[in-house]
Structure 1
Amino acid sequence: MEVDYIKNIYRGTNISRIYIGAQSALMTDRLSWIDGTDWDFDYMNPLDTNRGMCLVMDVQGGRWVLVSSGLQKIIPFTPEVSSKETHPEIVLDSSNCNSTFVLSPGSFSTFRWPQVPDVMFYCTWRVAALGPYRVGIFFDYWGTYGSLTIYDEFGTNIGEFSGIYEREPFASFTPFNYATVKYEPGNATGGSRDTGFHAVIRPV
């Protein structure tokens, strides 16, 4: 389950391998976790003949292989940005706009919520829950003209919310343990000002 969880985090990125915190003793086959945890699980690639002191995971297939320390580099993830999207300057705030939740629980919202900015921004969130849990997204505030779409780990649209300025609190549940949420601002069609939305994430 943990292997699938890590694969989901890196799905769609240009990262191929990651270090997972284990090493071998003097180039032998005896492996140990660097934090001292007992070695009670093995997902080594049975066809791999490499020898090294550091353990990495292939994030596509999930198998583990040994490499020489320092030879493997992690390529930073650079998301593709649509030309129509306008992102704010990088400012730390509670919206968690354009970020990944490695573990839920957590929360996300429109940029700078509950403040009301002069302009709403495009935002994307990637959310994952551990193991057999699904992701529950609980919207406790909605006052936006924008549209929000939720995709499962395969990119299938599993929920789209738009066209209604005010909604009562509602929830959406993913079929698996991973989701991508995208928000697109909309034009005000009524007399009320766009005040955004807020959602809480829980494993279910």
Structure 2
Amino acid sequence: MLKVRNYDLDIIVIYRPPHTNKQLFVKELERVIQRVPINRDIIMFGDYNIDILEDKLDHIACSYLNMLSSRGLQCGIQDITREAVSAERRTATSIDHVFVRTESASEVQAYLLTSPLADHYLTGLTAVIGKRMPQNVCKTSLNNKAIEKKLGEQYWNELLNYDDPISLYSRIKTIFCNIYMTQRK
């Protein structure tokens, strides 16, 4: 965990060897992430050896992405992160990942450096941390006495003419919505 002023950030760095059980890895990773409170910021990156290129997704990769998404983590890189040639055949995969969950950082940007330093491209992340993102708050006040008066003035007998319950529900909903909309502050 990184602590900067009053800002906590969990940084998780992962390497999953290519020949280990992917399904077991996804379950273990889920247990780790579940221990981090949902309101805490996370940056997670590393060599996962799970290909997430869109045209190569298998059921384990989909399960992995869905699990991370359900915990509020967003994928920062979905491009090719490794290219190799073996037996005169070129392979391109996206096995180096960056995932971020944050409400406290702004200007978050994951990137790749396609440098020939290694057989994997270098991944990076820039973020302005430690300042809360502005929260837009909208509050609505209702004049309950005026609403009560309008409901009392409504001609409800018209509803007796409806045979279809769906149409009846729709009309009642429209009446209430119209009254509430006119009494908002």
Q: Same fold (TM over 0.5)?
A: no
Which of 1 and 2 has higher RCO (CA within 8 Å, sep 6+)? 1
Q: TM-score normalized by structure 1? A: 0.27
Q: Write 1 or 2 for the structure with the bigger share of strand.
A: 1
Higher CA-based Rg: 2
Q: Write 1 or 2 for the structure with the bigger share of helix.
A: 2
Q: TM-score normalized by structure 2? A: 0.29
